[in-house]
Structure 1
């Protein structure tokens, strides 16, 4: 079949992207699904900072590639061997395609399945196939095994979770990355308990979902830190008890002074070394710093080793919120239905494929949370 897709041909083009146009919208050919694969119509896809990192060249990707890793859609065709889905089903996509049989998958950690990471690095689906071609016959790589900045996508069955059709797909899309990453960091990785205090450094779509999850978990105190004053205002409206502007002189000292030496749990979602340094600095003795942000692949964070030991601090990574998608997406959707994960508040507008470069300009400027691409609108 033919469809329209936004293709990234070159990383690192300068801003504004409205002028340099790193994403080129073309008509391409999409092969049907192979064994264990599903064809979906992409109903909605979120513009995420991880996509921006690919455009900027911070995270290298095989080119050309159709990126887009957070979304929801409608099943249109099932490949051989897929018997538990049928056309018309609604699904949320998952940006790690897990094999289901390796030691990580069988221990309930499909988010770090090596097969999914290998496919991502190669620009293929989990099967090793590439299903997208330009009309001149050139193969196009798959971003995160999904390639959702397109009208349709062929996706591994293990890279999606079926959801009830009553959930608006434009809300469901946010669960594919921002909710799993932010809420999962709080509820799965940190295992926050009722009555605890927590800080969240970075208030993008992931950070705001961490805020919602902290409220849902019954946090007694929620400290929000960001460089954007408007986002701090939203965090206060949505339940943060304390807010601090990250650009203020000695922000870390002010947080420590206000919290009697820091917080037991600090979630970093900004994906920068400065944010990680701040998060670690405001973690109390005996506390844990959880990093869910993704900086440049060669960026390094350092700490005083003796102090790590004497303060008994823990540093934890949280990839995809330590989620088991089949378990956690329904759980998070339950919180959403009860109004405890109000992800609909995060939507910063809608756009079509032809406006996608302008959308990434807005994201790079830092004033939006989640713009939703509707490629078939």
Structure 2
């Protein structure tokens, strides 16, 4: 199969011929149909987070089951599936207490460099990325890394649910627990931010503030549920939020950029008793600074990993939301590219020209 390989950080991906192993016990071989270009991939490609190289990146994808290994009971060949990096074992303390996104079962959720699912004509090991490696024509994964979906769901849009949609929507609904009528500010209107905005609307938020420097993304945010638009180029976003809320602030701030300044701004724009949820991947080693006195007003800050998902429950619901017209995925896809155009796709992402680019495999 053809796959995009990352040999060195801050270097272009290289399209190579790679062989994928046959499925072993509880493993599933998937024909990749669509893979989304996610900003999280870029973090690893730029060395902001470590990963053993060389590797095939990619983790937001959809496909069709080709083969299953022994003991697989969840899917069969021909099933349509969405992948998720939150592979779970189902038996560790985190899984059995309802937090499978934090699974510690390393025999299933294998640590970096452990999986051995590829072969090629080189001595060096080709590492699997986040137990998935979506930037290849096939994926070999554990059956607990996928969810079956309805075949009427378009696979190109279903891929987005595998990471960006789940992360943003889940941060609002699962992690932050936004309730009807509450005020929500979303910092960053990329793919994850758009999902958070759409999720806030589905949850019944009273006001949804979209914060971004890109006017085109702000306009799209209004279609997805934003009631108020804030451009930091027009002034301090904290002051703008306070001015629009009679000096109070918002009950929830969802940070979707992964930067020190925006994490601090999210906390700064909270109303008393409010919660800032940091979704973006702040570069490894970066520290944020907060005003200690704010904690006396019961303001909170928390992280969110993949939307605190229970993905085999959450993703089918998101599919239903789309099919019912509540989740507006059609507006998210800015570019459809081939695997050979992947480096151009990431360049467009870095330039802020797209909400989401997707690779369509033959």
Distance in 1, Cα, partners of 2:107 & 2:216: 36
**Aligned counterpart for 2:10 among listed residues 6, 9, 12:** 12
In the alignment, is the contact (CA less than 8 A) between 1:109 and 1:324 conserved in 2? Answer: yes
Paired position in structure 2 for 1:264: 251
**What is the aligned counterpart of 1:25 among 5, 9, 15?**
15
Q: Distance in 2 between matches of 1:190 and 1:353?
A: 36
* Matches of 1:332 and 1:117, distance apart in 2: 29
- The answer for unaligned runs of 5 or more in structure 1 is 14-21
For residues 1-377 of structure 1, what are the structure 2 equivalents within 5 Å?
A: 3-13=1-11, 22-115=12-105, 119=109, 121-124=111-114, 129-260=115-246, 261-308=248-295, 310-374=296-360, 376-377=361-362
Corresponding residue for residue 16 of structure 1:
none
Shift of 1:119: 5.0
Aligned positions, number: 361
1:37 deviates by 0.7
Native 8 Å contact 1:65 1:123 kept in 2: no
Q: CA deviation at 1:135?
A: 2.2
TM-score by length of 1: 0.92
Q: 1:224 to 1:38 in 2, by over 3 A?
A: same
Deviations 1:60-92 (A, max 9, x none): 111000010001100000011102311100001
Please name the residue that 1:18 is paired with. none
| 1:312 Cα deviation from its structure 2 partner | 0.5
**TM-superposition CA deviations, 1:272-320 (whole Å, max 9, x none):** 1111111111111110111111111211112122321x11001121111
Instruction: Tell me, in whole angstroms, the C-alpha distance in 1 between the residues paired with 2:22 and 2:202.
Output: 41
Q: Using the alignment, how far apart are the partners of 1:122 and 1:239 within structure 2?
A: 38
Q: How far apart, CA to CA, are the structure 2 residues paired with 1:6 and 1:332?
A: 29
User: How far 1:192 moved relative to its partner?
Assistant: 1.2
* Counterpart contact for 2:200–2:225, Cα < 8 Å: no
How far apart, in 1, do the equivalents of 2:298 and 2:106 lie? 33
Q: Structure 2 vs 1, CA of residues 52 and 98 (structure 1 numbering), >3 Å: closer, same or farther?
A: same
Measured on the aligned residues, the alpha-carbon RMSD in Å equals 1.5
Residues 234 and 67 (structure 1 numbering): CA distance in 2 closer, same or farther, change over 3 Å? same
Q: Does structure 2 retain, via aligned residues, the 8 Å contact 1:120–1:142?
A: no
Is residue 89–residue 109 contact of structure 2 (8 Å, CA) maintained in 1?
no
Tell me how far apart the structure 2 counterparts of residues 158 and 49 of structure 1 sit (CA, whole Å): 24
Q: Secondary structure of 1:349's match? A: strand
Structure 1: distance between partners of 2:156 and 2:60: 11
